[in-house]
Amino acid sequence: MTRIEELAQTQLDAYNRADLDAFCACYHPNVLMLEGEEPGAEGIEAFRERYAAMFERGSFGAKVPARLVHGDHCVDEELWWRLDPGTEELSQGRLLVRDLIGVVQFLG
């Protein structure tokens, strides 16, 4: 297993445990999070802040039925779900998560 694949799996496992510290530890201090082509968070503190409330509430998860790894690139097909804390309504979706060293991009 390559380093990028190990990091992708470790962050997915931490995400599913709602372990924000372990999740953020998978990313570079200068991480750049892209939502499509637009910046979503720059730097680990902004990245952490982006996820803090969701991780505190829990009631979310994801699975990766397919992963493509090539060099320092990892692309996961991610199937995610969340329960709305106010309504208990279930949201689900599918997206591609592209991880590089120091960059994560969500394409949905």
pLDDT at site 64 = 98
What number of other Cβ atoms are within 10 A of residue 4's Cβ?
17
pTM: 0.88
- For the chain, domains (ranges, CATH) are 3-107 (3.10.450.50)
Percent of the chain whose pLDDT exceeds 70: 97
In the predicted model, is pLDDT for residue 1 greater than 70? yes
Quick one: which of 108, 20, 11 has its CA closest to 57? 20
What number of other Cβ atoms are within 10 A of residue 102's Cβ?
12
Structure token pair of residue 82:
């969340």
**Would you give the DSSP letter of residue 28?**
-
What's the whole-number mean pLDDT along residues 88-97?
95
In the predicted model, is pLDDT for residue 101 greater than 70? no
* Per-residue pLDDT tens over the stretch 40-82: 889 999 999 999 999 999 999 999 999 999 988 899 999 999 9
